[in-house]
Structure 1
Amino acid sequence: MSRNAELRFRAVTAFQRRIANPLMSRLPGQTLLETTGRTSGLPRRTPLGGRRIGDVFWIVSEFGEKSHYVRNIQADPRVRVRIRGRWYGGTAHPLPEDDAVARLSTLPRVNSTAVRSLGGNLMTIRVDLTE
């Protein structure tokens, strides 16, 4: 990762962790991804954008494997997703071979624009939902 990309990653993640995520997590309609902390074992909730298509929820991570929630998924793929106020269990699958830019065109526009403009190493995540 270049120095510029590393600085952008640090700035964006600091803003998300300290300001955006705590505020967004409180919004009742915000989609949340709950993973298990790979070190702590505690639930970790991340507000994000994505789209449910049938029994699959699609996400694109803006920093790929550097994102903490992706690292948590790699350690334990069992997750929960809150969609429109309802929680669903599921199993998450990172898909580095998927065309993340093309995938973003199928996801909500506002979030996709932010991910595309702020992200550095995009990666698709597929969550197979269970009831």
Structure 2
Amino acid sequence: MLDLTDLKRRVVHPIQRYLVNPVGRMSPTTMIETTGRKSGQPRRTAVGGRLIGDQFWLVSEHGEHSDYVRNIKANPAVRVRQGGRWRSGTAVLLPDDDPIARLRELPGMNSAMVRAMGSNLLTIRVDLD
């Protein structure tokens, strides 16, 4: 039996995968590039977040159920594209961080969407090189 969290994730995930991410890859949208844990190929996902110093902060809507989070767990070396510029870094999952409080520090429109669509929020910090 599905709970509401699982149902929400099953509805939102295909929309993101087949609509939001393809559009994001063709636009100047902020992206995170991970290495596929099975394929070894670069995988790009549209994200929202904020650069603070040499760190990029974001909150994953579906936490450890997100493919890009699973890729980070397998290999934390990532690249972040913001403002058309790619930067390499190391992603750190922060399960003890308060993602709702963190969203208050991130861009408002994206944060509202993450809160509305998210099922299992997880804060991620990318320490940029």
Q: TM-score range by the shorter chain?
A: over 0.9
C-alpha displacement of 1:20? 1.3
Alignment pair present for 1:32 and 2:47:
no
Consecutive unaligned residues in structure 2, runs of 5 or more = none
Query: Which residues in structure 2 correspond to 1:84-103 (within 5 Å)?
Result: 84-103=83-102
State the distance in 1 between where 2:81 and 2:124 align: 16
Q: Tell me the alpha carbon deviations over residues 17-68 of structure 1, each in whole angstroms, 9 at most, x when there is no partner.
A: 11111012211x2101000000000000001100000000001001111111
Contact kept? 2:50, 2:106, Cα under 8 Å = yes
The reply to whether residue 20 of structure 1 matches residue 20 of structure 2 is yes
For 1:35-46, list aligned pairs within 5 A.
35-46=34-45
Alignment of 1:54-69 (within 5 A): 54-69=53-68
Q: Following the alignment from structure 1 to structure 2, what is the Cα–Cα distance between the partners of residues 102 and 25?
A: 28
Amino acid at match of 2:59: V
Aligned residues: 129
Contact 2:30 2:47 in 1 (8 A): yes
Counterpart-to-counterpart distance in 1, 2:56 and 2:122: 14
Q: Are 1:75 and 2:74 counterparts?
A: yes
Q: Which runs of 4+ in 1 moved over 6 A?
A: none
